Amino acid sequence: MTTTYVGVPGGRLFVVDEGTGPPVILLHAGIADLRSWDDLVAPLAAAGYRVVRYDGRGFGGSTTDDVEFSRRTDLLAVMDALGIGRAALVGNSQGGVTSFDTAIESRGRVVAVIGVAAGLGGFDGGSTPEEDAIQEAYERVDTAEPFDAGALTAFEVGIWVDGPGQPAGRVPAGIRDAVYAMNLPLNEPDHIGGRVIRPDPPANDRLAQLRSPVLAVAGTLDFSSVVATARRLESAAPNARALVWPDVAHMIGMEVPDRLAAAIIEFLAPLDRWS
């Protein structure tokens, strides 16, 4: 395992590089950092892949000033610094948004995308009345006076780790505690995350240009919009397939890492080797 920092304008990114073979880059969710992929690395490396992951600006070991930045540009900076010409991207939630955006804008750098409970810029998958009520409660916690970062983090763990409307503790305590520890610093009032520059037009309006093979993995214990996103990709992107599992929520790589790794390996196996 090699760790390094990659300098980017106004910040630096903490990067972990393991294994040898065609590069696979793991992009974390907005409530976590690269540690959320810990249990996925070994099976991917054992299958013959070089597994790279990094903390986005303001997450984990990465830092940023209060500057405007592009997550796509940061990803390409990591690839360039590590000598990676092309990579397969595995993106969870927010990391999925970045993966799809990059595959559209820099298609020559991306051989495939695996979205894991992924978002899609510009797409609204709708919601149920029960989910609307959860979102209203979410906003109340987020805007409470005085603000309580711990309460907000606990609420987010409940809806994103256990799943909206699922019983508290559905997921093992170790996973819940790990996500809480990763997410709490992000909710502190003094946290600096920079200001994201988003693509215009968004990815949802450009899916015909998403020509890389896509596997969109989602769980039915997540918000219904996440499954709708996977179905949207399957129906509108030229080479996309949805894989919906009935027993997982948002942090699929932590809930069922071996199952996810097997799905990724099976998906990537037919592709020509890349570097």
Distance of CA 48 to the CA centre of its chain: 22
Can you list the residues of the chain whose pLDDT is less than 70?
none
2-125+193-268 CATH pick, 2.40.128.50, 3.30.70.20, 3.40.50.1820, 3.40.50.720: 3.40.50.1820
pLDDT score, position 58? 98
Query: What integer pLDDT is reported at residue 51 of this predicted model?
Result: 98
Would you call 107 helix, strand, or coil by DSSP?
Answer: helix
Query: Would you list the domain boundaries of the chain?
Result: 2-125+193-268, 129-187
In 3D space, the residue among 21, 17, 18, 19 whose CA is nearest the CA of residue 273 turns out to be 21
pLDDT of residue 160: 98
Query: Residue holding tokens 């309580």?
Result: 148
C-alpha count within 13 angstroms, C-beta hemisphere, residue 203: 27
Mean of per-residue pLDDT scores for the chain: 98
Report the distance separating Cα 249 and Cα 5, nearest Å.
32
Position 125 scores a pLDDT of 97
pLDDT tens digit sequence for 138-185: 999 999 999 999 999 999 999 999 999 999 999 999 999 999 999 999
Where are the alpha helices (H) located in the chain, listed in sequence order? 38-46, 71-81, 94-105, 129-142, 149-157, 173-187, 224-236, 252-255, 257-268
